[in-house]
Chains A and B, each alone.
Chain A
Amino acid sequence: MPPFQNAAATNNRCKATLAQVPHFEGLSSEIQEAIAAAAALRHFDAGQVIYLEGEPADYVYILESGWIKATRMSRDGREQALLFLRPVDIFGDTNVFVGTNYPCTVTTLEAVDVWVISADTLLKLVRQYPDLAMAVIHKLGQRVLNYIELVEDLSLRGVEARLANTLLQHAELVNGQLVVPRREWATFDAMAVRLGTVRDVLARALKGLEADGLLKVGKVEIVLLDPKGLTERSQI
């Protein structure tokens, strides 16, 4: 593992990042100081691996900048996206508390800065500070809810409905139009992984929605032409 940068010199930067983590913003300055003292800054370029599924879960990460994705390969070799995270958020925390290996592979979608804390240190801090334990419980609870949504999505919705739902969730209003920027969909393969399907099935679903006038696929973005119609299709 490449050497960590000196964390002491960037203590304030770490605390500023911590203050932006949902559920962590209310932590006392003493707790933030303790976490910052234990954290080290690391940089990853786009496309790099932060950790692999099946590696010992030795570290917890706080995403300060850049996008990451978490994927997991099933026993039959199909890759499923579990999470797409944008700053500021925590990841790698789930398995620290049960002592198992990382359940997924995390890779960077663009250049990323993360704060790294050893799992042992986090466990010590959680035992020492009940408020930190509560913040972590909130975070883990939120993650469970996200996975329940994913299970519902994969088990109860067809590919077209999942596609419509995901497009609506990630659309942004640009010049009066709802668009999904290309950074959300680096490639067709990435889209397929995200939706738990394969490229050909996804391409058919996308073409179907385009043929029905619900969206238009461009080189740098997908324009949602009929959000109401897409909402109806996302329920099927």
Chain B
Amino acid sequence: MKTDDVQHLARLARIAITDTEAAQFTQEIDDILQYVSEVQAVAGTDAVTPTVGPVYNVFRADVVTTEPEQYTDTLLQAMPETDGRFMKVPKILKQDD
């Protein structure tokens, strides 16, 4: 792994990292990957069906379970920037003047 690869991962994960951080993470992630790659030998090449336990893909009925507006004010208050009942976000694209 190179620092460029780590910078790419950081962009995918939406985290700005400095060159110093990238250098440190590159070394550490390399070490961790080397360690965890042991699973490849342990799992072998035979197909193993991943198990998920006995309870999975359980769905509830698609019905409204809360009162209208029950949480609206609470959730709006948690937002860093609002405009009335809307969440305010910056532009998606930079504007060229």
Decide whether A and B are members of one complex. Answer: no
**A→B interface (CB under 8 Å):** none
